[in-house]
Structure 1
Amino acid sequence: MWVHLFSDGIVERATGKAFAGGAIRDIEGNWIVGFNHFLGNYTSFEAELWGILDWILVMLKKGYKRTTIQTDNLEVIKALIEKEMEDSGIMILRRVQRTMRSEGQW
């Protein structure tokens, strides 16, 4: 069964504090689980990736292995798709890519 992950990373301008949140829904749009959590000090790019990684891991634990990931951050989408970014120095990006390569269909 395919599910949809809707993810968003947010960074508060005044403090630099980052949060990730979103929802997981089934193919018909029914709610499965929602989430939000405090991350610490990260860029919006990193916050978005942390949200995606955290919830990929949750979905895998729940047995969902076919997921579409929806985010409004074009930079994150490009980084996840582009092969040359696999060797980037951004640890969280490499971790998300490695998880996506080894588990499920994305």
Structure 2
Amino acid sequence: MCVFLNTDGAVHPMSGLSAVGSVIRNSKREWILGYNRFLGECSIATAELWGVLDGLLILQKQGYDEVIIQSNSLENVISINDSKMGDPKNSLIRRIQ
């Protein structure tokens, strides 16, 4: 069964503290699971990558093998799709792959 992972990160402009929240839905778009995570200081792109990684790890543990990731971060989508497995540029991207 295919599931959808929607994730979004946020960074407070004054403190730089960040968090990510995500929702997992089934193929009928019905809610399965939601989660959030406080990340401390990081960029919005990094926060959203953590949301994707956390979601994939949860889905893997639940036995799902088909996932459609929906993100509003074009930068992250391009990075995940274009990076080579051995590219040391970003460890989060390597873990997501």
Partner residue of 1:81? 81
Taking structure 1 as the reference length, what is the TM-score of the superposition?
0.85
Query: Which one-letter code corresponds to 2:63 in the other structure?
Result: G
Query: Which one-letter code corresponds to 2:87 in the other structure?
Result: D
Partner residue of 2:20? 20
Runs of 4+ deviating beyond 2 Å: 83-86
Unpaired runs of at least 5, structure 2: none
Does the CA-based 8 Å contact 1:52-1:96 persist in structure 2? yes
RMSD: 1.4
- Please show how residues 16-95 of structure 1 align to structure 2 within 5 Å: 16-84=16-84, 87-95=87-95
Q: CA deviation at 1:89?
A: 2.3
Measured against aligned partners, the alpha-carbon deviations of 1:35-93 in whole angstroms (never above 9, x if no partner) come to 11101111111100001001100011111110000000110000011135851422212
- Partner Cα separation in structure 2 for residue 2 and residue 55 of structure 1: 14
Aligned residue pairs: how many? 97
User: Quick check: which one's helix share is greater?
Assistant: 1
- Partner Cα separation in structure 2 for residue 95 and residue 63 of structure 1: 18
Unpaired runs of at least 5, structure 1: 98-106
Measured against aligned partners, the alpha-carbon deviations of 1:7-33 in whole angstroms (never above 9, x if no partner) come to 111111111111010100000011100
Query: Which one-letter code corresponds to 2:81 in the other structure?
Result: I
Taking structure 2 as the reference length, what is the TM-score of the superposition?
0.92
